[in-house]
């Protein structure tokens, strides 16, 4: 019993003890902050001051509205209560005390600085006369009490937004409006509530802006809580983007004009005839700071009308454009070819450029003086006839050398282009040394020509080409190249031709190759090729002569450094090879520089239909080839002078530190060699410290008396790297695993 009684007593006492503790705990909690209710009035219709008093805006309270009350660093946000009216409402929030108060609307902004950060530069109206996008914002300062107030200057110091109303009647041909702007000759407008947020333009975009029969649009936009004063004689331009049209109305006020905060300010154009047809572009004035903006085919077509002799004009694409149905007339394609152009594609695409052969320099730019950048040409079709032609430009620079010229960031995609000579998907002919082409690529193009046809350019005389490529299908008769048909003294760096097919449809000295057909010379000077390559290309040139996987013929002064051909398939005629068909690139006692250094042919095959065929060089004469190799398979049938590295080696040739390791086959064993088929020259021929990697063939099929073919290795003992080390090859160039560094 005691136990039971004890237990009962314990249970009975517990609630009283717990209640006592709770009272103690509650007494330690802070008292809740008192809530207060305030009343606020929003302004009535805000009207145009002294002008058209019927036009105004009603600001009304809405569900979810808040106001923020500030006193010093203290802030309290008040929420609107149910039962509010359009103009009067009650708000509830935590009590705030102080000597002076500031009221902010909307209440999501809890400091003046936050309201100053409002941006008015990206406004959008949907429909012809919609006000749904307009927002009221205000700061009411210097209140001694906040329990009851009105957003008016009678309650305190008031800063509040303004509104600008456009009512514009446009020409009859206008169908829809997409943007309206008012631009001044100086920054007189506020693009936000910060005093320093000045701009020279106020603008609003229009969605669903199709016009009715009266061709009138009403547009509304918020302005800041500052008055914008436009001084007298300030040039103003009112612009309307309207599909294919850009209507412009120039205004110069005789007296000061003000766009007032807290009011609806109105701009009305009732006469449709005042709009200038000179506003043919989407925007801009043709200067570098403000290029003409192009977004329609019609705007594109009038570019040539605004080009000026020896003055640069600036254009910028702001949309992709389909040029289907336009017979394009190239820009700057008439004497004296001196109109300057800067064309910024801004990443956009021009589709279906079409140019016929009845115009000079069929292309987009004609003769390019200036810059074309960051644009893609897709499905261009150019039939040039006996003209120099390219998709981007027919010709680039002239002897008059007016200005430096640039093509950069351009893509030519799925183009079809044909011409008798000087033809390429990017440019037909590049003439002067101040031309620069970079980061430009040809994808899926088809090029048909006769002489000087290339998968990138037809003929490059001078200039600099960097980081460019092509995979075009190219056919022609002479001086045909996967990248360029013919060169003189340009500089190529890190460019390539990959995956394309070249076809030569005639016999004779065709001088054609996977990268460049004919690397010619000017005053014993040639081009420089560094880090360029041909990969997985097919060369169908069995009737042609002077054919190379990289270059068909290289004349004196041309330099090739760290270039290569990989996995190419070549069908060629006489004097052909995996890298260079005929090599006249250098004789050290005749010209400094020039030659082939640290280049290679890796894999693939070459099948010869005529004599003098090699895995690397077909017919070198006046040449220097050092630190190069070939693993290409060479098939010569019963032809003469077939070699794993060189077909026939003529005079004034130096070949050192090179090897061949492809399969070499042919039935004419008299001039069949693992490295060279026929060393057919005098004592000016030097082949030293080289390797012919073969267990069945001699190093050279035939060596003419007097040739210096010495200090070489032929066989398969050990490894190539082992034999190379014995021959004294430079470890700074070779890693002795049969590859160049």
- Res 446: pLDDT: 97
**153 CB contacts (<8 Å, ≥6 apart)?**
none
H or E element in which residue 456 lies: none
Per-residue pLDDT tens for 60-94?
Answer: 999 999 999 999 999 999 999 999 999 999 999 99
Dist. CA 598–CA 605, nearest whole Å: 20
- Res 20: pLDDT: 40
- Res 705: pLDDT: 87
* Domains (range + CATH), the chain: 34-279 (no CATH), 534-741 (2.160.20.110)
Give, in order, the Cα–Cα distances in Å from 494 to each of 91, 397, 653: 70, 23, 27
3-state secondary structure of 623: strand
- Res 549: pLDDT: 98
- Res 5: pLDDT: 26
**Phi and psi at residue 18, to the nearest 5°:** -65, -45
- In the sheet with 576-577, reading across from the earlier edge strand, the strands are 421-423, 451-454, 478-481, 508-513, 544-548, 576-577, 613-614, 642-643, 672-673
8 A C-beta contact, residue 444 and residue 474: no
- Res 587: pLDDT: 54
Percent of the chain with pLDDT over 90: 76
Give, in order, the Cα–Cα distances in Å from 455 to each of 18, 382, 474, 616, 639: 93, 14, 6, 23, 31
- Res 13: pLDDT: 32
3-state secondary structure of 212: coil
Dist. CA 162–CA 46, nearest whole Å: 9
- Res 507: pLDDT: 83
Which DSSP string corresponds to 335-367? TT--BEEEEEEEEEEEE--EE-TTSSS-SSSSE
Dist. CA 354–CA 382, nearest whole Å: 6
Residues of the chain with pLDDT under 70: 1-31, 44-55, 277-279, 399, 401, 586-593, 736-741
Nearest-10 Cα torsion for 408, 414, 418, 422: 20
3-state secondary structure of 131: coil
What is residue 306's DSSP assignment?
A: G
CA-nearest of 331, 333, 329 to 315 is 331
**263 CB contacts (<8 Å, ≥6 apart)?**
46, 47, 48, 49, 162, 163
8 A C-beta contact, residue 146 and residue 69: yes
- Res 12: pLDDT: 31
- Res 741: pLDDT: 54
- Res 236: pLDDT: 92
* Prediction pTM value: 0.70
- Res 594: pLDDT: 86
3-state secondary structure of 636: coil
């Amino acid at each position: 019993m005691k136990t039971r009684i004890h237990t009962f007593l314990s249970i009975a006492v517990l609630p009283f003890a717990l209640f006592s503790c709770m009272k103690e705990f509650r007494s330690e909690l802070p008292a809740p902050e008192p809530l207060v209710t305030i009343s606020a009035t929003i302004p009535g219709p805000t009207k145009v001051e002294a002008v058209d008093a019927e036009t105004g805006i009603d600001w009304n309270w809405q569900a979810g509205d808040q106001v923020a009350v500030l006193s010093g660093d203290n802030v309290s946000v008040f929420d609107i209560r149910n039962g509010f009216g359009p103009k009067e409402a009650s708000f509830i929030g935590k009590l705030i005390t102080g000597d002076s108060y500031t009221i902010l609307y909307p209440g999501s902004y809890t400091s003046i600085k936050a309201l100053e950060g409002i941006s008015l530069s990206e406004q959008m109206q949907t429909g012809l006369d919609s006000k749904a996008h307009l927002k009221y914002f205000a700061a009411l300062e210097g209140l001694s009490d906040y329990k009851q107030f009105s957003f008016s200057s009678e309650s305190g110091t008031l800063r509040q937004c303004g509104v600008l109303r456009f009512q514009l009647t446009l020409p009859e041909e206008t169908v829809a409006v997409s943007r309206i702007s008012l631009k001044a000759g100086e920054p007189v407008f506020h693009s936000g509530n910060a005093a320093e947020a000045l701009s020279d333009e106020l603008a609003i975009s229009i969605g669903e802006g199709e016009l009715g029969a009266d061709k009138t649009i009403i547009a509304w936009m918020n302005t800041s809580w500052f008055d914008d004063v436009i001084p007298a004689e300030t040039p103003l331009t009112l612009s309307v983007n309207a599909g294919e049209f850009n209507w412009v109305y120039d205004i110069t006020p005789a007296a000061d004009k003000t766009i007032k905060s807290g009011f609806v300010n109105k701009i009305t154009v009732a006469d449709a005839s005042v709009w200038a047809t000179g506003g043919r572009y989407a925007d801009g004035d043709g200067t570098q700071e403000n290029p003409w903006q192009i977004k329609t085919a019609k705007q594109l077509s009038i570019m040539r009308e605004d080009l000026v002799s020896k003055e640069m004009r600036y254009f910028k694409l702001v949309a992709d454009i389909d040029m289907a149905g336009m017979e394009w007339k190239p820009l700057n394609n008439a004497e004296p070819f001196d109109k300057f152009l800067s064309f910024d594609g801004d990443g956009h695409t021009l589709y279906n450029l079409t140019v016929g052969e009845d115009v000079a320099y069929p292309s987009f730019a004609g003769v390019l003086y200036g810059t074309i950048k960051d644009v893609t040409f897709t499905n261009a079709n150019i039939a040039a006839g006996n003209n120099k032609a390219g998709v981007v430009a027919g010709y680039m620079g002239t002897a008059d050398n007016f200005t430096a010229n640039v093509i950069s960031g351009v893509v030519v995609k799925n183009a079809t282009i044909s011409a008798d000579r000087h033809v390429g998907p990017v440019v037909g002919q590049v003439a002067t040394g101040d031309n620069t082409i970079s980061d430009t690529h040809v994808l899926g193009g088809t090029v048909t020509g006769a002489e000087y046809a290339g998968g990138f350019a037809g003929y490059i005389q001078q200039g600099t080409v960097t980081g460019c490529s092509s995979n075009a299908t190219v056919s022609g008769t002479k001086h045909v190249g996967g990248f360029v048909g013919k060169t003189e003294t340009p500089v190529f760096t890190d460019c390539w031709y990959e995956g394309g097919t070249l076809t030569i449809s005639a016999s004779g000295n065709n001088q054609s190759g996977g990268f460049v057909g004919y690397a010619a010379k000017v005053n014993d000077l040639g081009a420089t090729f560094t880090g360029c390559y041909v990969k997985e290309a097919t060369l169908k040139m069995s009737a042609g002569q002077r054919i190379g996987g990289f270059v068909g013929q290289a004349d004196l002064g041309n330099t090739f450094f760290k270039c290569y051909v990989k996995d190419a398939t070549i069908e060629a005629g006489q004097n052909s090879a995996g890298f260079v068909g005929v090599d006249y690139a250098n004789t050290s006692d005749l010209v400094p520089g020039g030659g082939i250094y640290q280049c290679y042919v890796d894999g693939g095959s070459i099948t010869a239909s005529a004599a003098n065929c090699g895995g690397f060089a077909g017919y070198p004469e006046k040449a220097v080839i050092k630190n190069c190799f070939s693993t290409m398979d060479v098939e010569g049938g019963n032809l003469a002078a077939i070699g794993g590295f060189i077909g026939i080696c003529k005079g004034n040739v130096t070949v050192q530190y090179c090897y061949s390791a492809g399969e070499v086959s042919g039935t004419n064993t008299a001039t069949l060699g693992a490295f060279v088929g026929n060393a057919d020259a005098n004592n000016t021929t030097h082949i030293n410290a080289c390797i012919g990697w073969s267990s069945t063939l001699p190093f050279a099929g035939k060596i003419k008396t007097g040739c210096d073919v010495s200090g070489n290795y032929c066989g398969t003992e050990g490894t190539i790297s082992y034999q190379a080390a014995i021959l004294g090859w430079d470890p700074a160039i070779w890693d002795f695993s049969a590859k160049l560094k």
